[in-house]
Structure 1
């Protein structure tokens, strides 16, 4: 071997290089494997991270173990930095190249997307699919593809996970997930429905494609409801939940005086078409109706028929709910759409323990909280408020004053004219010259039975009109005997005036 001498010691050229460092007290010898000239630690331009760290370690005078730890620390820090900044870079890249629409099962739009997905060819050919009898958030069922009309509808949907399909010749992928499934309590919504989330994505920077998809899904869903009245109910958490939909009920099936129906419908249509008139005069764009009278006289049925005639959905608030508070009620009312019917049924029941001048109620809603929700600052514009009650005398004047209630309509027990009309609607196939409707009406005492009471009797003779006329005398006698004994139904005991409109429309 060749020995080289230098100022601080000597070196062997091969096969190992020995570096001898001297100080006043000791001599240390370090053994390095020979390196290529370009990678030598003594090179002016080290070529590897390890060589660089070795040079730094020499300069600092630290041992081999510390040098290895320093190497690991530097490498780990570099990897962590790459992951940290790489994540930001990937997220930035996704934002610039991918558009995503997010749908939550707690929102109505989720029902639109599920309905849209159920009609896509991909949902019928994918090998990973879920089967559902409901596509709506609150379990409301619409006619599906069942094999039997008596069976529940069946919907085929992509199963949770990622799915790829095309929309308008563009690649689209959907992710359906149920977050929080490890915690059952966290994965359930307030309506006891499983919480789900759907994300639909595509490449590009424009939102136009996904917006068109959403609009298409919305139109398809609304088209299914064109012949139906959709009912939303309030839950105890201050959110609206779609509960059911029913076929629109024609006003002709509501047996009340024709002039009442005509004037009410005309008044509501006039209100809905006069938004600018209200705005120009600084008048709150709201309308309030109070329907009061005998139980079973058709108050709620009329509200449903009115909603169908106007093409509006109904939002029902149960004021007797013990968990309902002023804040919850105010949030609910402010979250209603601008064009809808807000229905407060049996308004007297919510404050049946309240006397005039008192500010408490049988539940957690205060009277001032109710008034503020109806026409406070947060009250929605454009909505029609309908309140029903069996006992108008129990309502505070402040609740039904003009401005809050614009129209009052009384619904009483059946007149003979109404009994005649109900009979003809129950048996539409009777010959025109039949005298059965007149015979039936002549036997019905004025203002004794509610319309629901008469309908209940006729339901027992659905296909036998002559038998209904024959049996009605015994039915009336039984009712009168029961009334004398004090055992009749409350709705038959509470006599009322004939149905009439109280406020001149």
Structure 2
């Protein structure tokens, strides 16, 4: 006879018995657990748990003592200040060659705002989307390099403080200590030189632009090197400028200056109408000679002492850019009958002192730009402060032809050469063929004949090209009408057609 299946419950599982309910079941289970508990073992466990913090504190203290003793007698170290340029170079190398290969589990996420860092330029123009930057947290990183054991330590509290600065890009800024096992600092010096070489290699295609922030120079942006061929002004003047800077940067020139007790400085004045490329030329020169660019905005400088401090902290081999120097002590738009009122907190005397005073630093190139050179004080532009004046005027027909060729020359890295429809003289027709160099040269010559000599600025002509970047034939066809409209003073805004609910077409 078959026996019904029954579930057997032991005392230790009485909680599963359907007849047990509420607090009675819980108290019954706890009672059985306490009845089988050894009080002696419970006391030993409690004593161990109580002693654990003390043991941990002892081990930490012992480790710090041993580590300090080892570091004092068996390790060497080099400390790099937080705002030194070398700090950024070392941090970049450590991030790229050490930290990114570690299993870092703690990051700070923030919206990336530095235009020079991101590769997606279009994303920066969108209001609804920005790239996210993840900054790793690390206090001390140990690593091997060239057979030596190194460590890099930074105070994490300082890193978190810098994160509150919207202009901080997450690289450098906090004090770094580089250590090496051994009593010689030579391995550390070689490592720092490696970091320097790495930084030079990374920056060879970019110009780093620095600006003043909270009493120190901080990287503002990183711009791709601009070729000097894209700056259109007199070729003889351009070659003379390049030769002058090249000669100044020659080590032999520096030795000659020192041997003859001459201050090793060089100053330039770029002047001309707005839109002729004065600032662009400064950036292109920085890229041409591998120099960093330091922007000095004198109207925002509080005192002459602050201006002097800024120049003292500028590295010896760089370009210092003073833009719109005419707007510093005179208001824009003022006439000869109006009294020129100062809009700067620092004085002309303070600027002259930092340019060539007794304590002014040497080895840097100073470039001043202005739209109105006649407003400048003669003491500011005398030889010794301004060694060469460069006029950037309106565009010539020859430069217009060069700009056309540059705009429509085939770029093997981005797009194929233009195609031409033989039958209709239009691009992108049904019967296409690759436009030859001779055809492009002919179009450039036709285009240049419609551009009047010394009337338009390069930026005006570039604005026209932006409307026809993919069609050189269309550019030639429309240039005459564009010139006529510009000469008649008709604004390009008049050409905008408003449709629908107010959107422009």
With the shorter chain as reference, the TM-score category is: 0.5 to 0.7
Aligned to 2:225: 248
Aligned to 2:276: 297
SS of 2:367's partner is: strand
SS of 1:246's partner is: strand
Q: Output the CA distance in 1 between the equivalents of 2:449 and 2:116.
A: 43
Q: Quick one: which of 144, 169, 178 aligns to 1:166?
A: 144
Note closer, same or farther for the CA distance 1:233–1:458 as it changes in structure 2 (3 Å cut): same
Deviation at 1:474, TM superposition (A): 2.2
Deviation at 1:325, TM superposition (A): 2.4
Q: Quick one: which of 465, 477, 489 aligns to 1:470?
A: 477
CA offset digits 1:246-294 (Å, max 9, x no partner): 2222222222221111111111111222112222222211111111001
Q: Output the CA distance in 2 between the equivalents of 1:115 and 1:198.
A: 12
Q: Output the CA distance in 2 between the equivalents of 1:465 and 1:283.
A: 53
Q: Quick one: which of 283, 287, 296 aligns to 1:317?
A: 296
Aligned ranges 1:61-460 → 2 under 5 Å: 94-120=71-97, 123-128=100-105, 130=107, 140-141=116-117, 159-179=137-157, 188=164, 191=167, 196-235=174-213, 237-273=214-250, 274-321=253-300, 323-353=301-331, 361-429=342-410, 431-433=437-439, 434-460=441-467
Deviation at 1:119, TM superposition (A): 2.9
Deviation at 1:389, TM superposition (A): 0.4
Q: Output the CA distance in 2 between the equivalents of 1:143 and 1:200.
A: 31
Q: Output the CA distance in 1 between the equivalents of 2:321 and 2:255.
A: 25
Deviation at 1:464, TM superposition (A): 0.9
SS of 1:320's partner is: helix
Note closer, same or farther for the CA distance 1:410–1:122 as it changes in structure 2 (3 Å cut): closer
Of the structure 1 ranges 161-170 and 361-370, higher mean CA displacement relative to structure 2 is found in 161-170
Deviation at 1:93, TM superposition (A): 6.9
SS of 1:179's partner is: helix
SS of 1:245's partner is: strand
Q: Output the CA distance in 2 between the equivalents of 1:455 and 1:219.
A: 37
Structure 2 unaligned segments of length 5 or more: list them: 1-63, 121-128, 411-435, 495-505
Q: Output the CA distance in 2 between the equivalents of 1:207 and 1:191.
A: 34
Q: Output the CA distance in 2 between the equivalents of 1:456 and 1:262.
A: 27
CA offset digits 1:184-207 (Å, max 9, x no partner): 6x8746945676444333333322
Q: Output the CA distance in 1 between the equivalents of 2:104 and 2:158.
A: 25
Deviation at 1:133, TM superposition (A): 9.0
Q: Output the CA distance in 1 between the equivalents of 2:186 and 2:219.
A: 29
CA offset digits 1:220-265 (Å, max 9, x no partner): 1111112222221223x43211122222222222222211111111
Q: Is the 8 A contact 2:397 2:451 kept in 1?
A: yes
Q: Is the 8 A contact 1:325 1:365 kept in 2?
A: yes
SS of 1:461's partner is: coil
TM-score (norm 1): 0.68
Of the structure 1 ranges 155-164 and 299-308, higher mean CA displacement relative to structure 2 is found in 155-164
Q: Output the CA distance in 2 between the equivalents of 1:238 and 1:412.
A: 37
Q: Quick one: which of 449, 459, 468 aligns to 1:461?
A: 468
Higher helix share: 2
Q: Quick one: which of 484, 489, 500 aligns to 1:482?
A: 489
SS of 1:95's partner is: helix
Number of residue pairs matched by the alignment:
389
TM-score (norm 2): 0.68
Q: Is the 8 A contact 1:256 1:418 kept in 2?
A: yes
Deviation at 1:366, TM superposition (A): 0.7
Q: Tell me which structure has the larger Cα radius of gyration.
A: 1
Q: Is the 8 A contact 1:114 1:157 kept in 2?
A: no
CA offset digits 1:312-371 (Å, max 9, x no partner): 2211111232x4421121111122222211111111111224999x99720211111111
Deviation at 1:94, TM superposition (A): 4.3
Deviation at 1:460, TM superposition (A): 0.6
